[in-house]
Every structure is written in C-alpha cells, then in structure tokens.
Amino acid sequence: MNLLRHAVAGFCLVTAAGCAGQDVMVRKQSEMETRLEHLHQASTTSGVRLAELSAEVTALRERLAAQGAELEQLRAGQRELQANISERLVQVAPAAGTPSRIEVVSRDGAPREKDGPPEAYLKAFGLYSANNFTAAVEAFRAFLAEHPDSEYAGNALYWIGECHYSRSDLPQALDAFRLVAERYPASNKVPDALLKSGYTLYALKEPERAREILESLAARYPRSPAAAKARERLAAAASKKQ
C-alpha cells in the first residue's frame, strides 16, 4: 500500500514538472513572437520614413531648381530695366550743342534713330517687374499690335514668353520663345529666347529637343552669356545620364 502511494506521488511530481516545463516553453515562444512582431513593425516604420525622406529631398531639389529659374528671371529683368533707364537718361539729357535726335550705331554698323523705349513698352515691362504676369502679357501684346516693327518688338515677345514661363504655362512660353527667333532674328533677345526654349523643353520632358536647341545656341552665339548657361545645362544633363 505504501509502495502504491509512493508511485502515485512520484507520477504526480513528474507530471507537474512536465507541465511546468511546457509552460516555460510556451512563455518563451510567446516572448519570441512578440519580439519578432516589434522588429517587423520597426522595419516597416523605417521603410516608410525612408520613403518620406526621399520624397522630401526630391521636393527640395525641385524647389531649388525653381528658385534658380526665378533668380535668373529677376536678373534678366534687372538688366533690361537698367538698359531702359540708361536709354531714357540719354534721351532726356543730350549733350550741349547737339541735336535732340540721337543717332546710335546698330549691330550691322548702320546708324539708326534711337528714341528710347515707347511708353507702352515701359508700362508692360513695369507690370512684368511687379509679377502681374496676366496684365503684362496683355500690355506686351497691345504694344506689338501697335508697334509691330519696333526695335523692342522682339523684346516684348520674349517677355511674353517669360510671363507664361513664370505661370508654368510651358506650351505658350515655348511658342513665344520660338517666335522671337523666327520673327525677329536680329533681336538681341534671340540667344536668351533659345536658352529659355531649351529650359522649357527640359521642363516638358523633351530632353532631346532641348539638347539640340542648346547646342545650336552655343554654336551660333558662342561668346554670349546665354551660350555659357546653355553649356552648363548640357553638362549637367550629361552628368545625370552617367
């Protein structure tokens, strides 16, 4: 009888020990599964954050490119305004003993009469300088309709393109820049118009056409500031392909 009792007690002890060991194993498995779930969540969170950072970097690059284009527009506008002011000063303050009509020498060496920018052109350019692009386009178009043969006609058409470019109306900007070279090939704005045509085509995702125009600009006007910028843009585009 005592032997039976001892046997039963021993069996219970073995069974209890087995159950305790199984509980430990279950608890450890649960802990491991919890850790794995935490690691998975951390990995997913890191991936999402990495994607967000990549998007932020891309957006920052786009903003920097847009700011560079805006800065170039401001510089071009400043040069244009300075030239206009100088011309106006020469017009209103001729040297003593000289006639009121001012003669200057054109690019082909032939003298021509120079009266300074018409008031309509100055008004339109003032609207552009004030970032009133819609009104500036209308004013420049009115100027072109009234003075189609003015020496500032090419400039007016170029600034129409700049107005559209500033408003991200790229197809109309491209048309205006293209017409500068077609209608006014002798205009001093032709190199700048070709340069902005290339920039616009890059923005329109047409790199091959953009490259052709910028290469043509560099070949036709190699010493112009526009050609230097064209070569810089071509070099930057080539480095991206590598």
Q: Output the 3-class SS for 161-201.
A: HHHHHHCCCHHHHHHHHHHHHHHCCCCCCHHHHHHHHHHHH
Angle at 58 between CA 53 and CA 64, to 5 degrees: 125
Q: Pick from 60, 93, 126: which residue ends a domain?
A: 93
Asked if 216 and 159 sit in the same domain, the reply is yes
Asked if 54 and 150 sit in the same domain, the reply is no
Which sign, positive or negative, has the C-alpha torsion 231, 234, 240, 242? Answer: negative
Classify residue 98: in a domain, yes or no.
no
User: Do residues 159 and 124 touch, judged by C-beta distance below 8 A?
Assistant: yes
Asked if 45 and 158 sit in the same domain, the reply is no
Q: What distance in Å separates the CA atoms of residue 115 and residue 102, rounded to the nearest whole number?
A: 7
User: Do residues 84 and 103 touch, judged by C-beta distance below 8 A?
Assistant: no
The whole-number pLDDT of residue 26 equals: 61
36-61: pLDDT as tens digits:
666 766 666 666 666 667 667 666 66
Total of domains in the chain = 2
Average pLDDT, the chain: 76
Q: Pick from 35, 60, 93: which residue ends a domain?
A: 93
Asked if 149 and 241 sit in the same domain, the reply is yes
5-14: pLDDT as tens digits:
555 455 445 4
Classify residue 79: in a domain, yes or no.
yes
Higher pLDDT, 163 or 67: 163
Query: In this model, does residue 120 exceed pLDDT 60?
Result: yes
Classify residue 99: in a domain, yes or no.
no
The whole-number pLDDT of residue 237 equals: 87
Domain of 209: which CATH number?
1.25.40.10
Classify residue 108: in a domain, yes or no.
no
User: Do residues 214 and 234 touch, judged by C-beta distance below 8 A?
Assistant: yes
Higher pLDDT, 66 or 135: 135
Query: In this model, does residue 91 exceed pLDDT 50?
Result: no
Query: In this model, does residue 163 exceed pLDDT 50?
Result: yes
Query: Mean pLDDT: which of 12-16, 105-109, 200-204 is highest?
Result: 200-204
Asked if 28 and 145 sit in the same domain, the reply is no
pLDDT band of residue 121 (cuts 50, 70, 90) is very high
Asked if 153 and 60 sit in the same domain, the reply is no
The whole-number pLDDT of residue 34 equals: 75
Asked if 81 and 141 sit in the same domain, the reply is no
Q: What distance in Å separates the CA atoms of residue 200 and residue 22, rounded to the nearest whole number?
A: 72
The whole-number pLDDT of residue 193 equals: 97
Classify residue 122: in a domain, yes or no.
yes
Average pLDDT over residues 220-232: 95
Classify residue 111: in a domain, yes or no.
no
Can you give the pTM of this predicted structure? Answer: 0.56
Q: Which residues of 14-27 are buried (b: 16+ CB within 10 A; e: fewer)?
A: eeeeeeeeeeeeee
User: Do residues 139 and 127 touch, judged by C-beta distance below 8 A?
Assistant: yes
Average pLDDT over residues 167-175: 96
Which residues fall within 8 angstroms of residue 213, CB to CB, at 6 or more apart?
Answer: 194, 197, 198, 201
Q: Kindly state the percentage of the chain with pLDDT values over 90.
A: 49
Classify residue 139: in a domain, yes or no.
yes
Asked if 238 and 123 sit in the same domain, the reply is yes
Asked if 63 and 174 sit in the same domain, the reply is no
Asked if 64 and 145 sit in the same domain, the reply is no
86 φ, ψ to 5°? -60, -40
Range(s) of the domain holding residue 239? 117-242
Q: Pick from 24, 58, 93: which residue ends a domain?
A: 93
Classify residue 198: in a domain, yes or no.
yes
pLDDT band of residue 74 (cuts 50, 70, 90) is low
